[in-house]
Amino acid sequence: MTEVCGTSRIVGFRFSLYPMADEFVDIILSTLQRVDTTKVWVKTDDISTVIRGKMEHVFDVAKAIYLIAANTEKHVVLNGTFSIGCPGDLDGDVYMSEDDVRMNEDRVKNIHIEAPTQFALYPMNNENYMQIIADVVDIAKQQNTFTGGIHYASRLDGDAHDVFTTLEHAFNYTQEKVKHVTMTVNISANSPSRKKK
Amino acid sequence: MTEVCGTSRIVGFRFSLYPMADEFVDIILSTLQRVDTTKVWVKTDDISTVIRGKMEHVFDVAKAIYLIAANTEKHVVLNGTFSIGCPGDLDGDVYMSEDDVRMNEDRVKNIHIEAPTQFALYPMNNENYMQIIADVVDIAKQQNTFTGGIHYASRLDGDAHDVFTTLEHAFNYTQEKVKHVTMTVNISANSPSRKKK
């Protein structure tokens, strides 16, 4: 394999937060203001935001953004792609020396919201990628968050903390086996088209 | 390579349409009602919709959904993943016998909207995938829609018809070289955070 990718194990998450509400700007800005992003590199443009850093901090910030936005009780969606193994450059590598203490866990641990999720895993340049995807489905089944395979994706349901745990375990499991991995996630909250319990 | 995937060349697009507006339900439903989906297999759940069929019809329907929703002048985003080569099952294969006439082109050809787009291409199980991505960037450059590489994605700008043409050419080029290909797209419209010309 040609080493066209970088060698850093920095994790990235390029995402958009979509509040289905007239005050979407306020919801996005107030959410981002309330999340501690000191341990990740952040860059926002007019379409999406990318955060980069150690895996635990990228997932910590992603979960906090979702939970704080969802806690508005508006229909919001966090949609994005986690990536590792092909940063293309070294921006943000300084963040790889942060410690392991998650900055947002305390402020969101008491927010409990159902997080219907569709995700897809793309282990690149690996002939066993379908088996790895099957392994990840087994991880989700063991964690009781897996609720079905659908065209081009798998479905998770449950409390947001459990869903994010599964996503992080799935991603971590895969990146231990494959150098370049991406994982798309579409995490909904408060959708009116979802059946009430 | 183990033939774990199907053999059909049916194209799929799993997407969500996000109107950043209180009347998001009306915008989504009225948009879907105004798009001709007779030549694609459609299934909607509470998170996303999947359409499947011949490549030209999947892209025709995707573009029409984007344009009709964007024409409301609300900030809307079409976000999803195109896929070919791993359908997992044969649902909708009957749609592969449709003719090539695009059902929506006439009704949307006069809608002209700027379509700022971020996309990423994932040619699976191929050691030359980075070169294929570079080739696709060259296609976008030749079509004058490429406006830059960003972390984990490439950026396109321009009239929506031109952007969708590039996306379809990029996807088609790749699927001629690689069996299983996915391509994520995040296509914005009417964003207030985008600088006015």
Q: E strands, B6-109, where?
A: 11-19, 41-44, 49-53, 76-84
Give pairs for A125-130: CB < 8 Å, separation 24+. A125/A1, A125/A178, A125/A179, A125/A180, A125/B125, A125/B126, A125/B127, A125/B129, A126/A177, A126/A178, A126/B125, A127/B1, A127/B2, A127/B125, A129/A178, A129/B124, A129/B125, A130/B2, A130/B4, A130/B5, A130/B86
Count of C-beta atoms within a 10 Å radius of residue A194: 16
Q: Name chain A contacts of B24, Cβ cutoff 8 Å.
A: 20-21, 75
Chain B residues with beta carbon closer than 8 angstroms to that of A153: 14, 48, 81
d(CA A48, CA A67): 18
Per-residue model confidence (pLDDT) at position B197? 43
With a cut of 50, which residues of chain B have pLDDT below it?
1-4, 197
**Is residue A102 one of the residues assigned to a domain?**
no
Which pLDDT score, from 0 to 100, does residue B6 have? Answer: 57
Alpha-carbon distance A44 to nearest alpha carbon in chain B (angstroms): 11
How confident is the model over A89-113, as pLDDT tens digits? Answer: 566 778 889 999 999 999 999 999 9
* pLDDT value at A46 more than 80: yes
CATH code at B155?
3.30.70.930
**Domain presence at residue B47:** yes
Nearest to A152 among B14, B47, B118 (CB): B14
**Predicted confidence (pLDDT) per residue in B23-77, tens digit:** 999 999 999 999 999 999 999 999 999 999 999 999 999 999 999 999 999 999 9
pTM of the model: 0.95
Q: How far apart are CA B154 and CA B148, in angstroms?
A: 6
Looking at residue B86, its pLDDT comes to 78
Q: In DSSP terms, which residues pair with B181 in a beta bridge?
A: B84, B123
Residue A196: inside a domain: no
Pair of tokens at residue A110:
């008491």
Q: Per the domain annotation, does B91 fall within a domain?
A: no
Q: Considering the domain boundaries, does residue B96 fall inside one? A: no
How many CB atoms are closer than 10 A to CB B107? 14
In this structure, is residue B48 part of a structural domain? yes
Q: What is the pLDDT of residues A51-85, one digit of tens each?
A: 999 999 999 999 999 999 999 999 999 999 999 99
Confidence of residue A6 (pLDDT cuts 50, 70, 90): low
Q: Is residue A39 part of a domain?
A: yes
List, as one string, the DSSP characters of A142-181.
HTT-EEEEETTEEEE-SBHHHHHHHHHHHHHHHHHH-SSE
Domain count, chain B: 1
Chain B hits for A151, Cβ within 8 Å: 12, 14, 43, 50, 52, 87-88, 91
Q: Do B47 and A118 touch (CB under 8 A)?
A: yes
Question: B41-44 and B117-123: which strand pairing?
Answer: unpaired
Give the pLDDT band of residue A39 (cuts 50, 70, 90).
Answer: very high
Look up the domain containing A133 and give its range: 11-85+112-189
Q: What's the confidence (pLDDT) of residue A89? A: 56
Nearest CA in chain A to B26: A20
Residue B49 lies in a domain: yes
pLDDT at B1: 35
Q: Which of A125, A184, A188 is opposite residue B129, by nearest beta carbon?
A: A125
